[in-house]
Structure 1
């Protein structure tokens, strides 16, 4: 399973949706994921990929990790995975 599919699966699980219902241009808000769901998603992503996401749960806008859309989250995870395996 590639990074994109796994991230979408994690986000879909949080949103109680099928992965096919999660589109790359969706925001987490579009999917009904609240701040707690976001934090749980980040933890699940970190665990799934054995990475540490530079995410500030208290102030997501101050984070280096872009959570503005599913696509941005996938990009961020792909970058972190690539850096870890470099």
Structure 2
């Protein structure tokens, strides 16, 4: 996917964490960035709205969902996959 999309995803997550986008690294976990469960829900809603996608409701259960929220890199990859699936 495009660097522009990755940048926008980082901006959305950074906004929820009240950080600069550069601080949202691929290996950072939501917890490490100070994003609690409510913040993660808000970030998911923002990502859905920005990219016109539907993130599975069970994204917070890795064993039950293909949408991995364990790290920022995993979240970016999952959003890219959903956007690509929608375009196909």
CA contact (8 A) 1:55 1:64 kept: no
Aligned residues: 85
Give the TM-score of the pair, scaled to structure 1. 0.91
Structure 2 residue runs of 5 or longer lacking an equivalent are none
CA contact (8 A) 1:3 1:77 kept: no
Give the TM-score of the pair, scaled to structure 2. 0.89
Match of 1:3 in 2: 5
Give the whole-Å Cα distance in 1 for the aligned partners of 2:57 and 2:67: 6
Runs of 4+ in 1 over 6 A off after TM superposition: none
How large is the RMSD of aligned CA atoms in angstroms?
1.4
Secondary structure (helix, strand or coil) at the match of 2:19 reads: coil
Structure 1 residue runs of 5 or longer lacking an equivalent are none
